[in-house]
Amino acid sequence: MIEALLGSRSREQVLAFIVSRGEGYAGEIAQTYEVGVTPIKNQLEALELAGVLASQNAGRTVLYRINPRYAFKDELEALVKKAVSCYPEALQEKLLYARKRPRRQGKPL
């Protein structure tokens, strides 16, 4: 949707995921979009170098979120939220649903 503005599809995916969920890590983002981890990691690192994202270690996992000191934080979030609202409904649900705990053992799907 805003791929042309941001420069790449993976950059749009990273920002859409992080704005939708508040934070994320490379493997989780790649799994959501069913893409490789390497392009996602590259975009996360580039956005962090540019000051758009801030990272935090949580054990061996590096969590990324929008840098609260980024000058255009509110504008970027508004743009990305608007773009996400135009995504197909299935993708919107995938972005907004975050399962935080494991399923009870033996529970049917």
Total domain count for the chain?
Answer: 1
| Interval 60-101: pLDDT, tens | 999 999 999 999 999 999 999 999 999 999 898 888 876 666
Distance between CA atoms of residues 95 and 19, nearest Å: 9
Find the CATH number of the domain harbouring 36.
Answer: 1.10.10.10
Residue 57 belongs to some domain of the structure? yes
- Are 93 and 100 in contact by the 8 Å Cβ rule? The answer is no
Residue 60 belongs to some domain of the structure? yes
Percent of the chain residues topping a pLDDT of 90: 72
Residue 109 belongs to some domain of the structure? no
Displacement of CA 106 from its chain's centroid (Å): 31
Q: Domain range for residue 47?
A: 3-94
Residue 79 belongs to some domain of the structure? yes
